[in-house]
Amino acid sequence: MGYVADLKDGLRAFTPQERRNIAIYIAGIMIYKFGLEAFNGSVVALATNRYDYESIQSGRPSRTFERVGLLTGLNQACQCIGSILIGPLVKRYPTKNVLACAVLVFGLCSALLLIIDAATGGTFMPAAYRENHPKNDWSYYGDYNTDAMIPVYCISGIAYGMVELIRRVIPRDIVGGHVQKLRKMDSIVHIFYEITGTAGAFITALVIIPQLGNNKAFIVTPVCFTFCATIWFFISELDFKRRKSTLHQHEKPAYWKAAFRGLFLFGESIWVGGRILFTSRKFIWLVPGYAVALYAHRYLENGIAPQVARRYLGHSAWSQIMVGGSNLGELLGALAVLLLTNNIQTPMPWLRLDAIMLLIVWYIPFWRPPVDDVGQAWIVAATFAPISFGWAAGDVSLAAYIQASLSRLESKNKNVSALGAVMAFLYSFYIVTYAISGTLLGRYLDRVYNESGGTDGGNIREGLMFTAGMQMTIISVLVFAATFVPKGALAFNPKMISEEKLDEDEPVELKGRRDQEEIPDVPVFKESSKKSYCTSDDGSEPHIEKKASEII
């Protein structure tokens, strides 16, 4: 009962307006997550089937997982571009309006593949296929080159990045810089997010795809995103103030000029962030602790799950069952952080648990499940849950730690903030790592599959010894070792690391000094304990230099 009492006290710590905005934000994000699971799961399964189908029809060696790795890697890289493009809009308009419009744009982009498929003869799955789908027969798909999915999915990635930008901005805008409030809000949001993610993944794999086909299953995505945008429109303005009309029109930079300026400053942010990380014992551990751990989680869901579903079980759609198990683990991990936030005050115990749980994947190369048995997909889902439990607990706790500790660090560069620069570097490190390794490891698995027989009985078990077992072991060692780098982190459950207390709001004096340093042309007239990433304290707009670095 003590944990329940702590939870109630934590909820009472939010003001009525904060609780209202959190409730609206959660309602929208649950619908958003359902549509997102239907889209991403269906597209990856669709690409896997289409590349295998092309290989069978043409008689060429399989290149399925090389291209799927490239598809997902480029999609994630385009998320960076989307976050940069939307930067000028975030500083000019209320956050909730930009968020609602970004979701609508994402919905339109998600409909592109539906339009292409229908225009090239694609249909819903025939009724006769729903009970007994013929092996390797996807004649109801549209007749277009599967490589065309890559640029379309990249366009969707740009829109996805726009939405993800706002998702990282809003928590700080709603509850301020108090690490306990941030941790509680991040945990609460993550819990509801993963409840819908778990349900969405299971429903996509077991209901939508078997009834509609994975070429049509994401028809629900534009509908979900439209409802989501409508709900998010009712979030309050979050202290946004429009730019004062005393400024002349010519002083407002053109959108594309600001966007290209943002691209340049994003590169500068990466440089500054790398310098901060690699020249400080206090922060260098974040590279393996955050970026490498994030890569491992994404590779588990976007790499290993489709590989096992297609090559072991014969049904690419069942990868969503495995992702559903992963989402369930994330849900439990976020719930654990919420309940234990007063007992476990640093990310270290969670990161160590994450590192240990990664070793579970070693059973996969030696596993020989029967083909076409959906129960085996549930076994994989059950093993993915504890892995993602450790990652989600570490991610939620670490996200709050990064926001709180780096927001207190004054940047020596007038163009970028320390927080934005470090996050830009960490996220870019993860993106580049996944884009390169996802493609190369996929190519290696395709070669193993082709050399062992291909469509005539080939398998990838030997390859998974290295791409799953050895890779996750190396990552496990890196993440575990990183947790002992900061000062004071040797304890099993340290109360404080790097001799820094973060359980209070950032001092107003420090905030004022940092704001004047980062935004030298805008004087600070108003002191506030809750700083918005989207507007300056006096109501005028911050320079794009700051937004470009903080959008990731």
Q: Of 395, 409, 177, 400, which is closest to residue 279 (Cα–Cα)?
A: 409
Quick one: tokens of 219?
Answer: 């028809």
Q: Count how many Cα atoms sit within 13 Å of the Cα of residue 165 in the half-sphere of its side chain.
A: 36
Q: What pLDDT does 77 receive?
A: 86
pLDDT for position 447: 94
Q: pLDDT tens digits, residue range 491-543?
A: 777 775 655 555 555 543 344 444 443 333 333 333 333 333 333 333 333 33
The per-residue pLDDT for 504 is 53
- Specify the pLDDT at position 427: 81
Tell me which residue has tokens 């809003």.
Answer: 170
Q: How many CB atoms lie within 10 A of CB 278?
A: 11
State how far the alpha carbon of 367 is from the alpha carbons of 245, 322, 446, in Å.
67, 15, 19
| DSSP secondary structure string for all residues of 104-116 | HHHHHHHTHHHHH
- Give me the pLDDT at residue 502, please: 52
Whole-number Cα distances in Å, 22 to 329, 404, 498: 23, 19, 31
3-state secondary structure of 229: helix
CA 93 to the chain's CA centroid:
24
Cβ–Cβ under 8 Å, residues 172 and 18: no
Question: What residues contact 330, with CB distance under 8 A and at least 6 apart?
Answer: 190, 194, 197, 388, 389, 391, 392
How many angstroms separate the CA atoms of 21 and 239, rounded? 12
Give the residue ranges of the chain where pLDDT is below 50.
240, 243-252, 411, 507-552
Task: Determine the pLDDT at residue 241.
Answer: 52
What pLDDT score was predicted for residue 515?
A: 42
Please tell me the distance from the alpha carbon of residue 214 to that of residue 191, in angstroms, as a whole number.
27
Q: How far apart are CA 309 and CA 287, in angstroms?
A: 31
pLDDT at 407: 62
